[in-house]
Amino acid sequence: MEKSWSFRSAGVLIRDGKILVRREPGGEEYALPGGNIELGETSRQALVREYAEKTGAHISCGRLLWIEESSFLNGENSASALNFYYMVELSGADIPGAGEFVPFKDEERMLYIWLPLENIDKVKIYPKFLGGELSDLAKYPKHFRSSYC
């Protein structure tokens, strides 16, 4: 069994009572947009870059909401990740404001969806603590330890 490690950053973008999430077409698991932090980047820089690469959107990175240390299985392999979650805002109207969309023709492996906040507890979404935390955002960053094994 191999082990892997990742350092990630993801964004919470809320508009008109909906949160932007992503999932694989035909998949049932949702997650916040974001991606891996590259060597030499801060978590904020990585998030701005990842949003632009994956959605075409230009964002400004707001306050840090949560830090999550997670462990999970990636196929048959054990994996760990350190995740930073930020509140983000669009710097312009770069993405559709409703429904589902695929930002780029070559990015068809991910579907982006505006999920109504009232439906967040009705879907399988990661991080698992998301639904409970969105209803009452803490003034200071919170730390979570999650196991998805």
Residue 38 has pLDDT above 90, yes or no: yes
Q: Which CATH number goes with the domain that contains 21?
A: 3.90.79.10
User: What global pTM score does this model have?
Assistant: 0.88
Residue 23: partners with Cβ closer than 8 Å, 6 or more residues away: 29, 30, 31, 110, 111, 113
In a domain, 148, yes or no: no
**DSSP letters for 87-143:** EEEESSS-S-SSSEE-SSGGGTT-EEEEEEGGGGGGSEEESTTHHHHHTS--SS-EE
**Predicted pLDDT at 99:** 59
In a domain, 85, yes or no: yes
State how far the Cα of 34 lies from the Cα of 53, in Å rounded to an integer.
10
Residue 68 banded pLDDT, cuts 50, 70, 90: very high
The CA-atom distances, in angstroms, between 13 and each of 61, 90, 112, 131 are 10, 8, 12, 14
**Predicted pLDDT at 133:** 93
State how far the Cα of 1 lies from the Cα of 59, in Å rounded to an integer.
38
Residue 98 has pLDDT above 60, yes or no: no
In a domain, 139, yes or no: yes
The count of domains in the chain is 1
